[in-house]
Structure 1
Amino acid sequence: MQEPLRVGIAGLGTVGASVVRMLRTNSASIALKAGRPVEVVAVSARDRARDRGFRLEGIEWFDDPVALAHSNAIDLFVELIGGEDGVARASVRAALGSGRSVVTANKALLAAHGLELAGLAERGGGTLSFEAAVAGGIPVVKTLREALAGNRIDRVYGILNGTCNYILTRMEAEGLTFGACLKAAQELGYAEADPTFDVEGWDTAHKLAILTSVAFGTEIDRESIFVEGIASIEPEDIAAADELGYRIKLLGIAQRTETGIEQRVHPAMVPKDSDIARIAGVTNAVAVEGDFVGCVVLSGPGAGGHATASAVVGDILDVARGLRVAPLGRPIAALEPYVRAQMRTHEGGYYLRLRVPDRPGAFAAIAQRMADHNISLDSIVQRNRPPSSAPRHLCDQAQPVTIITHETTERAIRSALGQIEADGVVVGRAQLIRIENL
C-alpha cells in the first residue's frame, strides 16, 4: 500500500469535526477504497481547548491557517473556515501556490475567486475540489463534471437552500406566515440569527454561479444573477398556488438561450406532480438536463455536519487516489466568457396578486394595460379578503385580486405592471411570482 495521504484541516467547526471523525471511524475502509491510508496530521482553529468529540494527540496544531497551508508536513489542505476573503482565501492561495491540492466547502470563496483559484491549481500542479460547496451531500459537481461530461447541458435548476425550503414547506403545511416560520427555523438551527443571506437568495446565487460554470463551461459570474428572495411570500400566495395545482419553491435556474446563459434565483410556482415540488423541509434537489441523458434529478441533505463532511471526504479520497480533473470541468483557457442572457427575455406564465380599489373601471383598466402589452389572461379572481400584510386602513379601500397570465415575456409583464401602478389603479406594489412548468 502507498504512503499515507497527510491531511491538514483548517476550521474545526461542525463540518471540520465531522470530517475528522469520519476519517477516523471509517479509516480501514477508506484506506482500502483509496489504495492508501488517509491521516489527519495537522489542524488549525481558533480555540484549541474546545471539546470537538475527538482527541488532538498526535495532530500538529497551527494557530495560523496560512502557516498550515505552507507546511511540508501535509500533502492536502482542507479549508473549512468560510468567507470569501481574509484568511480563507489567503490560506487556499498559499496551499495551491505551494503545489498542494485543496478541498473546500466554501461557496462564497469560489463564487468570488473560483477562476483565480482554479488557475493557481492548474499552474501549481495541485487539484481544487469543492463538492461540498454546492448542495451539501448531493454529488452534483461530480455528476456534472464527470458522469455527464459527454452531454451538452441545456439547463440546471433546483432547490439549493434548505432554510428557504423549510420555511415554504411549513407555510404551506400549517398556514403560517413567513415571519413565524423563519423564527421556527432559527430556533431549530436551520437559519442564522441574521438570515438575510439565505432568505434573500444570495446563498442560492453563490451556489448557482458555481454550477453554471461547471455545467456550461463558462467563467464564473455571480454578479449577473437575477436574485429575489422569499420574504415577500404571503400565506395568500401559498393558498393560491395550492388551488392552482402548484407549490412555491425558491429555485436557482441556469439555462442556455439564444442570447447567452440565463441565471436567476427567485420564488416560483412549480406543478405539484413535479420532482422538485415534492422536495420538502431542509432537503435540497438539483435537476440537470442533458442532450443525451435527458433529465437527471439528485436530492438529499443540503447542509449539516455529516452531509457536508461526506462530500468533503469524497473529495479527499479522490486526491488520495490521484484523480485529476480540471476544477471547473475544463482548462481555464478553454472556459468561455460568460455572456449574460437578459432576465427580461424570460418567457413563461405569471401569477400576480394586486390590491385593487373597489371602484368602477379598475378591473377594466388593468385588463387594458395587459392587452396593450399582448398579455393574455388565463384567469382573474377577486379574493374575499386582503392579504395579511396590508395595513388596516387599506383593507376597506382595496380588494385582493389574483391574475394568472398565459405565457408572456418578463419585459412585457414588467412594463404592464409599471404602467398599472403609475395609473393608480392598484394600492401598493404587486406581488409577482413566475410559473415554471418544469
Structure 2
Amino acid sequence: MSPPERQRRWRLVLGEPGGQGLGEGSEPVGQDRTVDRALAELYDADPRRRGAGLGSSAPEVARWLGDIRTYFPTSVVQVVQRDAVERLGLHRLLLEPELLQAVEPDVHLVGTLLSLRDVMPQEVRATARQVVRTVVQEVERRIAQRTRTAVAGALDRSNRTRRPRPRDIDLGRTIAANLAHYLPEHRTVVPERLVGHARRQRSVARDVVLLVDQSGSMAESVVYAGVFGAVLASLSTLRTSMVVFDTAVVDLTEELSDPVDVLFGTQLGGGTDINRALAYGQSLVTRPADTTLVLISDLYEGGVREEMLRRTGSLVRSGVQVVVLLALSDSGAPAHDAENAAALAELGVPAFACTPDAFPDLLAVALERGDVAAWAERELGRRTT
C-alpha cells in the first residue's frame, strides 16, 4: 500500500478529530468526502445529545442509509446499521407509534424501515409493519383505481371482434377498414366489415411479469413496484408474477395478496445479477405473444453482461414485450448504466425512468402491444435509450 493510500484510509478511520495529526493533504476529497460525512454522522456523534427525531429527520436518515449502502459492502452495512440503531436511538422512533402517526406517509421512510429490518429487535417489528402499511395504503389509494381503469381499457381496446354489438362498434377502425367501399355520390362509406370492442373476458387475457432489482439504490422503486404488483394481481384478466432479485432471485407472487408482505419479503442491499433474474422470468413465460415483462433496474449488472443481452434478445424474438424502467419513483432521473441501456435499445427494448402516476398508462400501452418508446417520448418528454 502506498503512503498516500495508507494516509487516506487512516483519515477515514480516525475521522476529523483523530485525523488532524496526519499532516497536510489528509483531508478527504471527492467521493471520500461523502464517505467521511456518512461515518461522522454516526461515529463522531455524541449519543447523549443525538437521536433519531421525527418529521424532517426521516429523509435525512434515508439519505444517510443510502450513502452507507453505496460505499460499503453488505457485511459492513449490516454492522453500521446495527450501530446506528443503538447509537442514534432509531429504535426509539420505531417503538413510538403515536409519534409515527404524526409523520406524513413517505416512501423514503418505508425504504429506511425495510433496510433496518434485519437489525430490528423483535418487539419493534409489529410497529414497523404498521408504519409500512400506512404508507402502502396511501400509495394504493393514489394508484389503484387508475391502474385498474387503464388496464381494463387497454384489454378492451386490444381485444377486437368482427361481430360487435351496436354500442361496441369502433367507428374509427370500422371506417378505416372499409375505405375501399366509399361511395362518392353519396359521400359515405358502406361498411362490409364491422370492427368493435369485444366484451371483457372472464379468462386471463395477458400475463405480466415484474422483475424488480432490490439493490440498495432501488429502495423507492421496490416500494412502488410492490404496491403495483398487488394491484395488478387483483385483476382477474391478468396473471401477474412478481420477482425480486439481487444476486439471488426470490419469487414473491404468492405474497401479492398483501403488499406489506411483499415488501417485507424483500432484502434491500447486496449485488445485482440481472441475467439470473431474466432467466427466471423467462421460465415463467408460457404465452410469449400475450406477455409483458417489466424489468425495474438501474442496469448495473454484476452478472454476465453478454448473457443478459443474449437472453433479452431471445425474449424479444419469442414475442414477449420487454420494457426496462430505470426507476419507478418520483425522485427524477436516476443514475444508471448508460452502456447497457443503449445495448438494450438496439434490441428493441426501451429503457427510461417512470413516475408511479405515469405507470398505469405505460402498462396500458404495453398491454395493447403499442410503441412504448414513442409513448415515453410523447407523454414523459424523454427519449428512451
Is TM > 0.5 for Structure 1 vs Structure 2? no
Higher helix share: 2
TM-score, with length taken from structure 2? 0.29
Higher strand share: 1
TM-score, with length taken from structure 1? 0.26
Q: Which has the higher contact order (CA 8 A, sep 6+)?
A: 1
